[in-house]
Amino acid sequence: MAKKDHSTLKSDFGIHLKKIRMNKGYSLLEVDYRCELNESNISKIENGKFDVQLSTIFELAKGLGVEPKELLDFKPSVKE
């Protein structure tokens, strides 16, 4: 069985988050305005440079106008 690398998982989550944001037509600044996170941190999350806490997932969901479960509904890639 292939194991999941933590940095790969962060990167996969960030790609998924960015896809949701772009599909909504929101800029980083708009999401920043709609939730309690700043634009820089949202960018770091999207680029897989930042660990996401549960409270952050709920803030992002609020800012994107989605349910938190949508942010976790992605298929992580696996590292061989």
- Domain boundaries, given as residue ranges, for the chain: 13-71
Confidence of residue 4 (pLDDT cuts 50, 70, 90): low
Q: Does domain 13-71 have CATH number 1.10.260.40?
A: yes
Residue 2 has what pLDDT? 47
Chain centroid offset of residue 37 CA: 12
Full-model pTM: 0.87
Give per-residue pLDDT as tens, 53-79: 999 999 999 999 999 999 999 988 876
Residue 80 pLDDT exceeds 60: no
Residue 9 has what pLDDT? 92
Residue 77 has what pLDDT? 85
The angle at the Cα of 25, spanning 40 to 58, to the nearest 5 degrees, equals 55
CA-nearest of 66, 57, 72, 75 to 23 is 66
Give residue for tokens 């960015």.
18
